[in-house]
Amino acid sequence: MLVVVGCGPGVKTVPVTGMVTFGGKPPPYGCIVNFLPMSGALAVDPVKDSGLGTAAGMGECDASGRFSVCCLRDRRGLIPGRYEVLVSCCEPVETPFATPVSVVPPDFKPPELVVPADARSVQYDIDVPGGAPK
């Protein structure tokens, strides 16, 4: 899911990559990591300073758990600021209209991510506790 409020050619993004593991092991299924801007917490206020908006970002994990974040449709990285992080990893469903079952503990909350305005890149790794389900 991407949320975009304004965009333009002058948006500065910082490349963000990372890895999701479950107790140090690769995820058992495909995972998605969402980065949601925290209200009023941007290091640079793009709306005030440049007429641009803020954007959520998303990274899809490969089989090893590695991801690279995209925002603003096809831009790599995130706009500098603070982000709430959500990890989604569900067992595949076998029947139509079945509800996917998350393998991420319901009380697990990764630490927020801060993307400094002067960063060249950011590495953000997440280890979901409890190990991967069988």
Non-local (6+) Cβ contacts of 83 within 8 A are: 35, 36, 37, 38, 57, 112, 113, 114, 115
Q: What is the pLDDT of residues 19-60, one digit of tens each?
A: 999 999 999 888 999 999 986 544 444 434 444 456 899 999
- Token pair 């995130």 is found at 78
Mean pLDDT of the 103-126 span:
94
In this prediction, residue 11 carries a pLDDT of 74
The percentage of residues in the chain with a pLDDT greater than 70, rounded to a whole number, is 76
Q: What is the mean pLDDT of the chain?
A: 82
pLDDT band of residue 12 (cuts 50, 70, 90) is confident
Q: Is the pTM of this model over 0.75?
A: yes
Distance CA 85, CA 35 (A): 5
**What is the residue extent of each domain of the chain?**
16-106
Question: Nearest-CA neighbor of 33 among 79, 2, 75?
Answer: 2
Mean pLDDT of the 92-112 span:
89
